[in-house]
Amino acid sequence: MIELRNIVKRFGETTVLNDINVAIAEGTVTALVGPSGGGKSTLLRCINLLEIPTSGTLLLGGESLTFRPGHRPGWPAIQAIRRQTGMVFQNFQLFPHRTAIENVMEGPLTVLNWPKDKARQRAGELLEKVGLSQKADAWPSTLSGGQQQRVAIARALAMSPRVLLCDEPTSALDPELALEVVDVLSRLADEGTTMVIATHDLRLASRIARNVVFLEGGLVVETGPSQQIFTNPAQERTKRFVSSITAPQVYDI
């Protein structure tokens, strides 16, 4: 469903992703984990082309794009990929001048040209799904961080994406508020939503992800089922990294 082949990403002379090969099946949750600066967020952003790879090939659904240095794909090709993805950012990125329900309505209204009544109905259903139907008319500034992130998840789902991309979805939250977001993501995983989550929170990854990709220095060090990676990794570097999980049941949902 998603395949990255020989993906390289450079910023100037710095190579931040080097020969990345990853396949993600539909209906699964994949966690991108690793130390800071390892390439997690950059790889996630290459999937929806917020970052354009320097070289390699991206396949998503029925679309395929091959990249080469010095050449930027055309806008229609970029849009064909992006319209299959929904993005949840670390710092929510809600529109401050829109209410919660208006934030969720924005994509269907402006991109899909839905009638306002249809967009509002869809937005209401999604806010109910994330447990925030009572906050539909609230301004983002009046919501807690966990509530804002749940609105952001609803907004990302409004376009019915093939894959939900989450960039450090709990890192800006304290543990209690993070639990609200983990609960929503866990329920989406149970429903078969395809997700790719870049996270340094290994407890989140071990709770939700079926598969794990461990990156360091722009390289894939190890990949495999989450149970294997977190209990019996093959690489010594991975063993040292996952040993930082000291309370794997903290998100006991």
Query: What is the reported pLDDT for 196?
Result: 97
**Dihedral through CA 244, CA 246, CA 210, CA 171, nearest 10?**
-70
User: In whole angstroms, what is the distance from residue 131 CA to residue 79 CA?
Assistant: 31
Query: What is the reported pLDDT for 54?
Result: 97
Global confidence as pTM: 0.92
* Mean pLDDT, residues 243-250 taken together: 56
pLDDT digits 0-9 by tens, 57-98? 999 988 999 999 989 999 999 999 999 999 999 889 999 999
Residue 200 vs residue 99, higher pLDDT: 99
Indicate if the pLDDT at residue 100 is higher than 80: yes
pLDDT digits 0-9 by tens, 168-220? 999 888 888 888 999 999 999 999 999 999 998 888 888 899 999 999 999 99
Q: How confident is the model at residue 253 (pLDDT cuts 50, 70, 90)?
A: very low
Query: What is the reported pLDDT for 70?
Result: 87
DSSP 48-100: TTSS--SEEEEEETTEEEEEBTTB---HHHHHHHHTTEEEE-TT----TTS-H
**CATH class for domain 1-84+162-253?**
alpha beta
Domain boundaries, the chain: 1-84+162-253, 96-160
Query: What is the reported pLDDT for 248?
Result: 46
Query: What is the reported pLDDT for 246?
Result: 46
User: In whole angstroms, what is the distance from residue 87 CA to residue 166 CA?
Assistant: 6
Query: What is the reported pLDDT for 206?
Result: 86
pLDDT digits 0-9 by tens, 2-54? 999 999 999 999 999 999 999 999 999 999 999 988 999 999 999 999 999 99
pLDDT digits 0-9 by tens, 132-170? 999 999 999 999 999 999 999 999 999 999 999 999 999
Query: What is the reported pLDDT for 245?
Result: 61
